[in-house]
């Protein structure tokens, strides 16, 4: 059962999105992307981990399972599931990383995710490659 939306934010696409990273997916508040940023799929994020609510921080640090909904317009483009972790710092001011591994650092939001950048559908990657498109991302606790 999906819980309420705890956080939602927007990101922009960028024509350099390659989405080829095998173990991570990242959104950033930065307004640029370089070819080496192969895990970054969205820029100009309207939120960073340091800005998460106390409710979100608590749920993530309790290790709860989360559903990440990625929406373009009114269409659901992709979902990702992952888990919080007691060691999450959630202090980074610009980057949020979703990982397939259990590694945590100040940029990590979820671990043991079922998808990384390269696992996204072609339709989702096309949205992320379009600088004119805004993408909505929602974080829900998921049981």
- Residue 90 pLDDT grade (very low, low, confident, very high; cuts 50, 70, 90): very high
d(CA 115, CA 78): 10
pTM above 0.95, yes or no: yes
For 22-37, the pLDDT digits (tens) are: 999 999 999 999 999 9
d(CA 120, CA 20): 9
Beta-bridge partner residues of 75: 72
Phi, psi of 44 (to 5 degrees): 55, 35
Q: What is the pLDDT of residue 20?
A: 98
Task: CATH number for 7-141: choose from 2.30.290.10, 2.60.120.630, 3.40.50.2000, 1.10.1760.20.
Answer: 2.60.120.630
Cα within 13 Å of Cα(62), Cβ side: 12
d(CA 129, CA 125): 6
Q: Residue ranges per domain, the chain? A: 7-141
Q: What is the pLDDT of residue 106?
A: 97
For 141, which DSSP code? E
Phi-psi region of 35 (alpha: psi -120 to 50; beta: other; left: phi over 0): alpha
Beta-bridge partner residues of 66: 82, 141
């Amino acid at each position: 059962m999906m819980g309420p939306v705890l956080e939602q934010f927007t990101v922009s696409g960028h024509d350099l999105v390659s989405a080829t990273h095998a173990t991570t997916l990242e959104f950033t508040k930065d307004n640029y992307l370089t070819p080496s940023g192969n895990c970054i799929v969205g820029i100009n994020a309207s939120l960073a981990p340091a800005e998460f609510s106390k409710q979100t921080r608590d749920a993530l640090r309790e290790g709860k399972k989360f559903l990440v909904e990625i929406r373009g317009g009114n269409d659901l483009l992709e979902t990702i599931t992952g888990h919080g972790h007691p060691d999450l710092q959630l202090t980074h001011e610009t980057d949020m990383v979703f990982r397939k591994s259990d590694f945590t650092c100040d940029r990590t939001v979820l671990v043991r995710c079922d998808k990384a950048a390269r696992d996204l559908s072609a339709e989702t990657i096309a949205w992320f490659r379009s600088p004119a498109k805004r993408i909505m991302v929602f974080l829900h606790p998921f049981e």
